[in-house]
């Protein structure tokens, strides 16, 4: 298992949503533009029963939802059941789509937006472990103030991973440093926050710099995926 | 759209309609197959099973699963499509698994359309 495998795993779970609706029906597919999902639209004759949405994966049909129910579900705040194991398969697959956002070419500015979202969430909860990857000593240096504040004002365990040789690394008190040289840490921008086991707040961002300044990866609110990433980093890089 | 449902029953009673069409309209799976063919000339069995599972989700206010869809597909293949085909209402290729719309008379098409438009009011009862 590598960090690249985590990205590949999300990418290969691409699903298809087929929206059956008559012309002029609300466009529920618009909610899915940034998701890891292919959207198809098929027509229904006007004036009949309400339309519906069919969800398919690589094995075929997963489930069908009435379009009203589907649209309701997408109204923010998104409804997220706490105990997902009790949820039937079509819902699980739908939540998987909503939980995982795959992006193909993010610049630093966009990644910074997602990064701040995770850091803010960690600051609000104030407990649990936040694992952060820095591709270089400079990248960490640029964020030192943010992490000093997080360490001083919360009970978070902050683990910083840096691609660094022998050079001095500026680390605020309360931040635990894990350095490595020439490993995958240098290729990835990541934050993994376990929210102290709170399934509704666990989140992670994992992005590989595939060409200079251009990133490919995902962010997720899927607590199982976050837990797997936490375990992977702990066992492989701490 | 008018506030009142189209008077399907009145039309059917007034017209000299083939009994096969009435029987088809009285069977939910066959009725919805004819509805879908109003807007599509040709459909695969696979898509038709998706569509019937979708409409079942709408009419029963629930999410339909792979098991629902699978039993619909089996019933379509073994029961509903052969019946519709022998009534001359569709053309079913059981090898290629493709369903083609049969040319309906103007009156038959009008009745299917009227039934489709009235489905909002006469839809299946909602079961929890």
Residues A119 and A229 in one domain: yes
User: Which residues in chain B have Cβ-Cβ distances shorter than 8 Å to A54?
Assistant: 50-51, 53-54
Query: Chain A within 8 Å of B119 (Cβ-Cβ)?
Result: yes
Query: Chain B within 8 Å of A79 (Cβ-Cβ)?
Result: no
Task: Express each pLDDT in A76-86 by its tens digit.
Answer: 555 454 445 55
The residue segments making up the domain with residue A150 are 107-237
> Does A236 or A34 have the greater pLDDT score?
A236
Of B38, B54, B65, the CB nearest to A52: B54
Say what the pTM is. Answer: 0.74
Residues A47 and A157 in one domain: no
Residues A123 and A204 in one domain: yes
Whole-number Å distance between alpha carbons of A12 and A37: 10
Q: Residue ranges per domain, chain B?
A: 8-122
Residues A160 and A124 in one domain: yes
Distance between B39 CA and the closest CA of chain A, angstroms: 5
- The total domain count for chain A is 2
Contact (CB<8Å) A61/B1: no
Residue A132: which CATH number?
Answer: 3.30.870
Contact (CB<8Å) B61/A63: no
Task: Express each pLDDT in B66-106 by its tens digit.
Answer: 999 999 999 999 999 999 999 999 999 999 999 999 998 88
Query: Exposure of A67 by Cβ count < 10 A (0-12 exposed, 13-18 middle, 19+ buried)?
Result: buried
Question: What does each C-alpha distance from A96 to A200, A225, A232 come to in angstroms?
Answer: 14, 10, 21
* ipTM confidence: 0.81
- In the numeric block, which tokens belong to residue B28? 């939910």
Residues A142 and A222 in one domain: yes
Task: Express each pLDDT in A106-131 by its tens digit.
Answer: 899 989 988 999 999 999 999 999 99
Residues A93 and A116 in one domain: no
Q: Give residue A96's pLDDT.
A: 78
Instruction: Write down the CATH number for the domain with range B8-122.
Output: 1.10.10.10
Residues A50 and A138 in one domain: no
Residue B31, φ and ψ in degrees, nearest 5: -60, -45
The helix (run of H) or strand (run of E) holding residue A157 is strand A157-163
- Does the structure show a pLDDT above 60 at B63? yes
Q: Give residue A125's pLDDT.
A: 95
């Amino acid at each position: 298992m590598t960090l690249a495998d985590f990205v590949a795993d999300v990418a290969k779970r691409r699903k298809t949503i087929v929206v059956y609706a008559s012309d002029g029906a609300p466009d529920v597919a618009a909610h899915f533009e940034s998701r890891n999902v292919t959207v198809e639209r098929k027509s229904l004759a006007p004036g009949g029963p309400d339309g519906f949405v069919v969800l398919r994966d690589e094995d075929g049909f997963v489930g069908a939802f009435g379009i009203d129910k589907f649209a309701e579900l997408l109204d923010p705040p998104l409804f997220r059941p706490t105990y997902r194991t009790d949820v039937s398969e079509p819902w699980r697959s739908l939540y998987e789509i909503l939980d995982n956002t795959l992006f193909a070419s993010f610049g630093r500015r966009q990644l910074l937006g997602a990064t701040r979202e995770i850091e803010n969430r960690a600051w609000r909860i104030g407990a649990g472990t936040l694992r952060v990857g820095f591709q270089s000593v400079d990248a960490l240096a640029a964020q030192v103030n943010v992490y000093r504040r997080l360490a001083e004002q919360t009970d978070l365990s902050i683990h910083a991973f840096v691609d660094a040789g022998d050079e001095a690394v500026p680390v605020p008190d309360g931040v635990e440093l894990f350095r490595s040289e020439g490993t995958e840490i240098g290729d990835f921008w990541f934050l993994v926050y376990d929210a102290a086991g709170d399934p509704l707040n666990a989140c992670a961002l994992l992005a590989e710099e595939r060409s200079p300044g251009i990133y490919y990866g995902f962010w997720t609110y899927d607590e199982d995926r976050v837990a797997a990433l936490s375990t992977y980093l702990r066992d492989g890089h701490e | 759209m008018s506030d009142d449902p189209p008077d399907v029953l009145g039309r059917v009673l007034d017209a000299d309609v083939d009994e096969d069409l009435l029987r088809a309209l009285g069977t939910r799976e066959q009725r919805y197959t004819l509805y879908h063919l109003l807007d599509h000339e040709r459909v695969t069995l696979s898509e038709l099973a998706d569509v019937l599972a979708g409409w079942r989700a709408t009419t029963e206010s629930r999410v339909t699963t792979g098991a629902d869809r699978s039993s619909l597909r089996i019933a379509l293949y073994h029961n509903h499509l052969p019946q519709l085909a022998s009534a001359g209402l569709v053309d079913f290729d059981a090898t290629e698994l493709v369903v083609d719309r049969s040319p309906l008379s103007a009156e038959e098409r009008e009745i299917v359309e009227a039934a489709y438009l009235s489905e909002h009011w006469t839809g299946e009862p909602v079961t929890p």
